Amino acid sequence: MSDLLRIAIVGFGEIARRQHVPAIAKTSGAALVAVADPAQTPPGLPHFRDLQELLRDGPEIDAVALCTPPQIRHAQAAAALAAGKHVLLEKPPGATVAELSPLIAAAHQAGRTLFATWHSRYAPAVGPARKLLAGRTINKVTIIWKEDVRVWHPGQAWIFEAGGFGVFDPGINALSILTEILPRPLLVRSAMLDFPSNREAPIAAELELTDESGLPIRAEFDFRQTGPQTWDILCETDAGPVTLSKGGRQLRDGSMLVVDAADEEYPALYRRFVALTSDGKSDVDLVPLQLVADSFMLGRRRLVEAFED
């Protein structure tokens, strides 16, 4: 195997083009050498219609970054691991929780890395927020995570199909941050899920969560936000409010701005991937996915107006 981690992206949609390509280019020890996608043809790179064609006819690769919809990712990950490739899974790592366990076992048996990524945990203010909160008593947490699906997932009907997560596709980013910065495991207590009358996944959700200490946590997710987008987590503590905003790029301690940094989530994610493959380790945290699954299990379903992209 080459000292350079040769990566192929499978699924070349908006996030792959906007985030993965420039992140790989910034990552020492990694190179993008091919793309597999049935429709998108990136200039200057070998292109294949699907993973099978890539594995059969493509250049030598060491790893695949799966940026396809979650409904088909399990089969692709299994095929890549069977072919001896390291696998990076975009979030959410799969359409179900149970499908990840066989992949973890397959990666271990093959001696390859399986990396279930939670890119929002790599936002620059998340680590400092965890350290700040570690020395305080947290009394209440409020999450407001609202964005425009037409901006972030234009024409991507799969996100509103069964297994596509709907508003939990961005909402799981907030849950991945929350489980990183809070000290205790979280439990879902109730959920109200708004389903458009013509779709199979929710467009909005309201969650009530807690931990073993009884901490009240409320989360509001909405895919219908227009204008400025809102990605905020407010923690009310015994020493005043701590606010993570801009998806984890900005941190305030009361009125004092502690962190205000550019988005470098994906370069940090790929540095982690290179390190994992070098060390022969995997990283698969299923807790955010489990919280989403629990929200669907407990959630009351409310029909709202039809959604047309």
List residues with catalytic annotation.
91
The DSSP bridge partners found for residue 87 are: 64, 114
Tokens 């998340």 locate to 126
Bridge pairing between strands 217-222 and 230-237: unpaired
Neighbouring residues of 30: CB distance < 8 A, sequence distance ≥ 6: 4, 5, 7, 24, 270, 273, 274
Task: Sheet containing 30-36: give its strands across.
Answer: 47-48, 30-36, 5-10, 63-66, 86-89, 114-116
Tokens 């940090």 locate to 268
Helix (H) or strand (E) holding 23: helix 21-26
The vertex-121 CA angle with 260 and 68, nearest 5°, equals 120
- Pull the structure tokens for residue 7: 């990566």
Identity (one letter) of the amino acid at 267? P
Residues 70/92, Cβ–Cβ less than 8 Å: yes
Nearest alpha carbon to residue 68 among 22, 33, 37, 40: 37
Please classify residue 199 by burial: count the beta carbons closer than 10 Å to its beta carbon, then call 0-12 exposed, 13-18 middle and 19+ buried: buried
Residues 13/7, Cβ–Cβ less than 8 Å: no
Separation of alpha carbons 170 and 185, rounded Å? 21
Separation of alpha carbons 149 and 166, rounded Å? 9
Axis crossing angle, helix 168-181 with helix 287-298, rounded to the nearest 10 = 120
